[in-house]
């Protein structure tokens, strides 16, 4: 059985960490910076980083329209932290001119927990993944302020704030499973890729 070809958007952010997890899970990770590279993959990971920078670079590299077209055509995508922001249809506190690729019927708020010094780790119950709880690392993380009718929450903090969502072939987490050795979200994403191909 051929290894799924998974792109990691390599404009900025924690690209290598995602590529390593994907390779360890049996996928063939490819760095995506051009539309031709996007066209050659079966799914795409949008890593953490600076959502405003990734947005600007995606437009500079003429990737915004191809990524939006790939989402519309059903390509599975998984976004972590900034990647979640980029997949959201709405940003509650975006800077002037900031755009997203969209696809997830959610509203997110950037840096919802404060700056770098307010980064934290916690255990999250994720019913869709079963036991044990997910050890989640939040680094200048967003939060999902509103989950629309088309999306569904996968996980929330103890105070009810939603931090993981999915909708069809799209999935987003406010935290970074790629830095803690947690592979179940990537496995769930790869299952979407397998089902879509």
Report the C-alpha gap between 83 and 12 in whole angstroms. Answer: 11
Query: Using DSSP, how many helices (H) and how many strands (E) does the chain show?
Result: 6, 12
Residue 118: what pLDDT?
73
Integer angstrom CA distances of residue 35 from 22, 40, 48, 62:
21, 9, 20, 7
Please list, in sequence order, all residues whose beta carbon lies within 8 angstroms of the beta carbon of residue 73, skipping any fewer than 6 positions away.
none
Task: Read off the CATH number of the domain in which 92 is found.
Answer: 3.40.50.880
Taking only the tens of pLDDT, the chain with its 197 residues reads 689 999 999 999 999 999 999 999 999 999 999 999 999 999 999 999 999 999 999 999 999 999 999 999 999 999 999 999 999 999 988 788 899 999 999 999 998 887 666 789 999 999 999 999 999 999 889 999 999 999 999 999 999 999 999 999 999 999 999 999 999 999 999 999 999 98
Residue 117: what pLDDT?
66
Report the C-alpha gap between 30 and 108 in whole angstroms. Answer: 28
3-state secondary structure of 40: coil
Instruction: Cite the active site residues.
Output: 81, 176, 178
Total domains present in the chain: 1
Residue 112: what pLDDT?
85
Print the domain residue range for 39.
5-196
Residue 1: what pLDDT?
64
Residue 96: what pLDDT?
85
Report the C-alpha gap between 50 and 62 in whole angstroms. Answer: 18
Task: Judge contact between 87 and 102, C-beta under 8 A.
Answer: yes
Please list, in sequence order, all residues whose beta carbon lies within 8 angstroms of the beta carbon of residue 135, skipping any fewer than 6 positions away.
121, 122, 123, 124, 180, 182
């Amino acid at each position: 059985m051929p290894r799924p070809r998974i792109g990691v958007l390599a404009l900025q952010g924690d690209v290598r960490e995602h590529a390593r997890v994907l390779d360890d899970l049996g996928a063939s990770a490819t760095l995506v910076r051009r539309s031709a590279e996007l066209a050659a993959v079966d799914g795409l990971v949008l890593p953490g980083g600076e959502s405003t920078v990734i947005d600007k670079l995606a437009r500079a590299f003429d990737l915004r329209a191809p990524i939006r077209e790939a989402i519309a055509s059903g390509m599975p995508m998984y976004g972590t932290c900034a990647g979640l922001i980029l997949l959201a249809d709405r940003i509650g506190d975006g800077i002037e001119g900031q755009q997203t690729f969209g696809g997830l019927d959610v509203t997110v708020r950037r840096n919802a927990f404060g700056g770098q010094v307010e980064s934290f780790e916690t255990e999250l119950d994720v019913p869709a993944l079963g036991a044990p709880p997910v050890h989640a690392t939040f680094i200048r993380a967003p939060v999902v302020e509103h989950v629309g009718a088309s999306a569904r929450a996968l996980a929330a903090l103890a105070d009810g704030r939603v931090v993981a969502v999915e909708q069809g072939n799209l999935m987003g987490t406010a935290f970074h499973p790629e830095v803690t050795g947690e592979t179940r979200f990537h496995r769930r994403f790869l299952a979407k890729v397998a089902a879509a191909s």
